[in-house]
A and B are shown apart, each in its own frame.
Chain A
Amino acid sequence: GAGVSQSPSNKVTEKGKDVELRCDPISGHTALYWYRQSLGQGLEFLIYFQGNSAPDKSGLPSDRFSAERTGGSVSTLTIQRTQQEDSAVYLCASSYRDMSAPLHFGNGTRLTVT
């Protein structure tokens, strides 16, 4: 498939544990975005990559959240010492240019912190 792939699709973790979420963007897409959607809320921007650098990480909610992208392709979002309020669907999207081109979203990772 040529779409954005995210893994795992579901993750249940205990409060205080670290989790790592993975995103494989569409091949050739230079821009990569992480969003999250909490229950009953819209999509909340987390971080934006252009290539391997992150010109906008203003949406990361705390220093427990970090993300990296390697080889201009795969990205991982890491949440350390998870809290219950981190429970949400984490969505990754990619674009061949930037926001002026439509974003293509993956199906998301549903994170549940117990």
Chain B
Amino acid sequence: DQQVKQNSPSLSVQEGRISILNCDYTNSMFDYFLWYKKYPAEGPTFLISISSIKDKNEDGRFTVFLNKSAKHLSLHIVPSQPGDSAVYFCAASGGGSQGNLIFGKGTKLSVKP
């Protein structure tokens, strides 16, 4: 029973174009959402987060959108760069899960030069 779902295991995008990574969740009590990026043989690194009181958070080329009614969030990367090629994990917390940050299975992004 996955509470955080990333339904696309992979995504391929041309350099300079927009990358859109999607994430759905089932627990309406989640109140904080994060995106992590992971390169091979390294631990995930924090990218960007959003609180449930907001619907958008922007940091440079990265923007996260939250649609609470649809229980959906997305990460936009524009323009995409080859160095963005990595696995992106969506994560959520809250709803009484004091120590449990729930992760999706990840989406592997490939940015082609």
Tell me if A105 and B99 are in contact (CB < 8 A).
no
A-side contacts of B106, CB under 8 Å: 42
Q: How far is the CA of A91 from the CA of B103 in the complex (A)?
A: 13
The answer, among B36, B41, B45, B101, for a CB contact under 8 Å with A33, is B101
For B98, the chain A residues whose CB sits under 8 A away are 48, 55-56, 98-99
Contact mask for chain A residues 90-113; partner B; CB cutoff 8 A; 1 contact, 0 none: 010100001110111111100000
Does B93 count as interface, using CB distance less than 8 angstroms? yes
B90 nearest CB neighbor, chain A only: A42
Q: B100 interface residue, CB < 8 Å from A?
A: yes
Q: Tally A residues with Cβ within 8 Å of B.
A: 29
A88 within 8 A of B: no
Contact indicator A48/B99 (Cβ below 8 Å): yes
- Contact among B49, B89, B100 for A102, CB-based, below 8 A: B49
Known: A93-B43, A99-B97, A105-B36; 8 extra A-B contacts, CB below 8 A, are A33-B99, A42-B6, A45-B100, A45-B103, A48-B100, A56-B97, A58-B100, A103-B46
Q: How far is the CA of A81 from the CA of B59 in the complex (A)?
A: 46
Residues of A within 8 A of B (CB): 4, 31, 33, 35, 40-45, 47-48, 50, 55-56, 58-59, 91, 93, 98-100, 102-108
B32 on the A face (CB < 8 A):
yes
Chain B residues near A50 (CB-CB < 8 A): 99
> Given A42-B106, A43-B89, does the pair A99, B44 have CB atoms closer than 8 Å?
no
Are A42 and B43 in touch, CB under 8 angstroms?
no
A99's partner among B45, B93, B105 (CB-CB below 8 A) is B93
Establish whether residues B103 and A43, one from each chain, have CB atoms under 8 Å apart when the complex forms.
yes
Is the CB–CB distance between A104 and B41 below 8 Å?
no
- Within the complex, the shortest CB–CB distance from B59 to chain A, in Å, comes to 12
CA distance A94 to B14 in the complex (A): 35
4 nearest interchain CB pairs?
Answer: A48-B99, A105-B43, A56-B99, A102-B46
A8 to B102, CA, bound (A): 26
